[in-house]
Structure 1
């Protein structure tokens, strides 16, 4: 049964025309009325960057991302910096609103940062427009808005929420009967059912039931009951309930756990960011509602040895900062994004490190290895996958995971490409 709301998007054609105009502007030595940041020339001048994310809000919070950025800076600076340049990291709280996002971006311009790195914001237009005008690259955003995949100064390191939802649909297509997506009533939430449905459609699955819920509720009893009723509507097949409420996913699952015994068996699923190992542990582990759940992520599971260096940095340079959870995909994205920044600065050698030179190095085909955490990344024009509404996409790979005996483990050993699903998404 389809209970489907209209998908509100910005027209792609106008977005690309606007992006093209900004690209032409940003390609000049001096941006459109604003001089791009230059904080590290030849010699040992420090390099200033910024990382922003929402903290202490009523909805989704990502405090671990700026905390990881600070730990990364302490790590590289303890080794003498990057090519002799000390790394100076500014952080900003965007407060999950357009005003806060714009303030963070304007501060980045005023401070003359060479890049904004490993950040999260649900307000892409407010945060990216000032960066575009100043020609400042946005490296490794979380991928929660379409602007991150259309802005000419954005350099995404993953496929964003779009790839996760398409991948989750593929993962669930042959495992679920009725599928119920519980998601927020927001512009970001509006993209979710379309992409999930596209993934489910790869196996001729019926459409997802789209159920709205408050992003800042304190309990979800009614929403849980409604989701269970929809998921168990076909007694011949086991349904699936997919909560995607950011920080409130834990609150939803607490209500869900209390009422699910009154209904037939259902499976659960989620994308990383809505669920991680700490949430699985907090909701009962192997005896909790996530046992057997299907989960889609961008990167290898947290126990994979490819995370060893990051885990060492957290252990040695985060000084017990409990905001940093190594299993959080936001923290992981910040790590990958700073890996890209480090590769760019090393490539520039003794040359000037500025917003313009960083952007030029990325545009000219710098290849960045992330140690297997992603495929090799490169952002030349010919490397852009340009799937559907995502012209800046370069990495459409995801990982399939599952909860077994209370642990989040790999369901498949390799990355899975969801490029075809993204191309087919309407």
Structure 2
């Protein structure tokens, strides 16, 4: 199923810290000092110089790959520049292959510093512990990360546009509480994976449902036959209420579903549910469309369904600047997040007018409470240092809205109207 959040986007094996309230690091303090106007500020340039930003994501790896994010960032820059740039200045987008590797992620961050990037925008990495210190030390804001690490919701230099995995799982639990018997969560046996059960349970509990059966699995397994059979048996313990199986294995969710399809023959009433990032329209198509094991599944996401007309402006950019580029799928949540992140960047830069454009001025503008509109794809975005979810370890999480989608006749369609706000549900999650 779908939600920015949790990964069903792939989860970090070692690097992501548990979900808890963060502390302000030396780098973060330095970043705030720079934002206040002290020290050497990267990104300052003459009024007619290009504005440099960076987008990174893993490409050509054996695990999670998000090539559409940097590809779309380049297409966006081409489109903006063809329209006259931003305040008359060209946008220079640098891209970096993060490789799902902490060393490569840190290298990308150092490159952003070296090239005087004013922001890192619309990027994906599981290794925030590796790249965030470099960005914090240089005062470079991280705008619109994919939402898969704790740091994205704790660092004062992070400006997330979605609620990450916390919002997705809380929203999914709330939806399943009213429609499923026993719920079984299949998640990676990792430190980050340990944070998923309480998030799903927060939603289940809000709906008066029993906690999920927590079933661990190897993150990079090549088959999940044993786990599939165990999950099906656990989900059928109540004969009057068929259960639901929730695979949250990121890119390995498809591998799990291959095994699940074969094992499911004797358990036809058990349904699946997941979060966006673990499944999208392409996944459903390749797994059989209307006959896929996802048929009837609930999927929580951060944004409206890709068929919604609200995405037309993004699709127009793709059509104009990247027609035929198979890396860029408008239904991919990574591409969608990059579009929203660059929408934020554009409004920040436009608000600066003819003034200084630097990492410091971008950060200062965001911290002053600039309200950013995303054309209805999210609620109005506005970041403050302490927000509603600071008490449970998510001080930078400002968008706790999710959408509920459903797989019907092989297509992802809206499962309910509008957004579901899971702020109160997350307040009760035992994740600190």
Q: What is the TM-score of this pair, normalised by structure 1?
A: 0.93
> Aligned pair 1:350/2:358, yes or no?
no
1:232 touches 1:264 (CA, 8 Å); kept in 2?
no
From 260, 272, 276, the counterpart of 1:272: 276
Q: How does 1:335-374 map to 2 (within 5 A)?
A: 335-374=339-378
Task: Give the distance between the partners of 1:325 and 1:11, measured in 2 at CA.
Answer: 31
Match of 1:4 in 2: none
Q: Given that residues 176 and 237 in structure 1 are in contact (C-alpha distance below 8 angstroms), is that contact kept between their aligned partners in structure 2? A: yes
Inter-partner Cα distance in structure 1 for 2:339 and 2:429: 30
SS in 1 for 2:413: strand
> Is 1:25–2:29 an aligned residue pair?
no
Determine if contact 1:228/1:263 at 8 Å carries over to the other structure: yes
Structure with larger RCO (C-alpha < 8 A, sep 6+) = 2
Evaluate the alpha carbon distance shift between residue 188 and residue 55 of structure 1 in structure 2; reply closer, same or farther with a 3 A threshold. farther
Report the counterpart of residue 300 of structure 2 in structure 1.
Answer: 296
**TM-score, normalised via structure 2 length:** 0.92
Which among 224, 227, 230 is matched to residue 228 of structure 2?
224
1:240 Cα deviation from its structure 2 partner: 0.5
Report deviation, 1:361: 0.7
What SS class does the counterpart of residue 361 from structure 1 fall into?
helix
User: Pick from 81, 87, 95: which aligns with 1:83?
Assistant: 87
Corresponding residue for 1:38?
43
Distance 1:14 1:356 in 2: 22
Q: Distance in 2 between matches of 1:103 and 1:20?
A: 19
Equivalent residues in 2 for 1:310-329 (5 A)?
Answer: 310-329=314-333
Counterpart for residue 253 of structure 1: 257
Matched, 1:390 2:394: yes
> Quick check: 2:54–2:121 contact (8 Å CA) kept in 1?
yes
Residues 28 and 137 of structure 2 are in contact (CA less than 8 Å); yes or no, is this contact kept in structure 1? no
Q: SS of 2:73's equivalent?
A: helix
Which of 161, 167, 171 aligns to 1:167? It is 171
Q: How many residues align?
A: 415
1:190-201 alignment runs, 5 A limit: 190-201=194-205
Distance 1:205 1:384, change over 3 A: closer
Distance 1:111 1:304 in 2: 37
Question: What is the rounded CA distance, in whole Å, between the counterparts of 1:59 and 1:197 in structure 2?
Answer: 27
- Whether contact under 8 Å (1:53, 1:92) holds in the other structure is yes
1:123-202 matches, within 5 Å, as 123-202=127-206
**CA distance in structure 1 between the aligned counterparts of 2:426 and 2:354, rounded to whole angstroms:** 41
Q: What RMSD, in angstroms, separates the aligned Cα atoms of the two structures?
A: 1.8
Could you report, residue by residue, the CA deviation over 1:200-232 in whole angstroms, capped at 9, with x for unpaired residues? 111121111121222222222222112112112
SS in 2 for 1:38: coil
Distance in 2, matches of 1:294 and 1:191, equals 21
Cα contact 1:39–1:47 (8 A) shared by 2: no
The answer on whether the counterparts of 1:299 and 1:398 sit within 8 Å (CA) in structure 2 is yes
**Which stretches in structure 1 are left out of the alignment for 5+ residues?**
1-7
Bigger Cα displacement from structure 2, 275-284 vs 220-229:
220-229
* Matched-pair contact (CA < 8 Å) for 1:39–1:48: no
Superposed displacement of residue 385, structure 1? 4.5
- TM-superposed CA distance for 1:15, in Å, is 2.2
Residue 3 of structure 1: aligned partner? none
**In the TM superposition, what is the alpha-carbon distance from 1:198 to its structure 2 partner?**
0.7
